[in-house]
Amino acid sequence: MDEQAQLAAVAVGAATALVAEMTRDGWTAAREAVARAFRRGGEEQGERQLARLDADQREAQTTDTAVLRDRWQRRLLTLLEDYPEARQDLAPLVPKQSESRTGVSLSAIGNSGPVIQAGRDNFGGLHTGGQ
């Protein structure tokens, strides 16, 4: 995978996790990881992005998560293009995937309600946290 694709994968994963955590107890840890990453561009840059992040977090209950995810994906990708070393700050937010896995992988984070998967050769399980 080329460098740009790797940076995009980190940005997508981190933005997805970040937006999912905006309405959960894990918000503080996610916020701190993003703060460290943005401070690589200087303290002023870090504070400006944190102000945006906090504003979006306050609006998370009433704003479309897809809009927030896209917004933060773009911001994180720009950050990673300018400061590739910020990848290590964002890595804890990105879900781990097996290097040898092939095919399509789907995940739903922070959702409630039914999950429907269509296609052939489906296997695996679904754990909803219920008894």
Q: What are the tens digits of pLDDT across the range 73-120? A: 999 999 999 999 999 999 888 876 544 344 555 565 666 666 555 555
In whole angstroms, give the CA distance from residue 3 to residue 85: 12
The confidence score (pLDDT) of residue 98 equals 42
Q: Which residue's entry shows tokens 């940076």?
A: 7
User: Cβ-count burial of 68 within 10 angstroms (0-12 exposed, 13-18 middle, 19+ buried)?
Assistant: buried
Between the alpha carbon of residue 88 and those of residues 10, 34, 59, 108, the distances in Å are: 10, 11, 28, 24
The confidence score (pLDDT) of residue 38 equals 95
**Residue-wise pLDDT tens digits, 9-45:** 888 888 888 888 887 877 888 899 999 999 999 999 9
The pTM assigned to this predicted structure is 0.64
The confidence score (pLDDT) of residue 100 equals 39
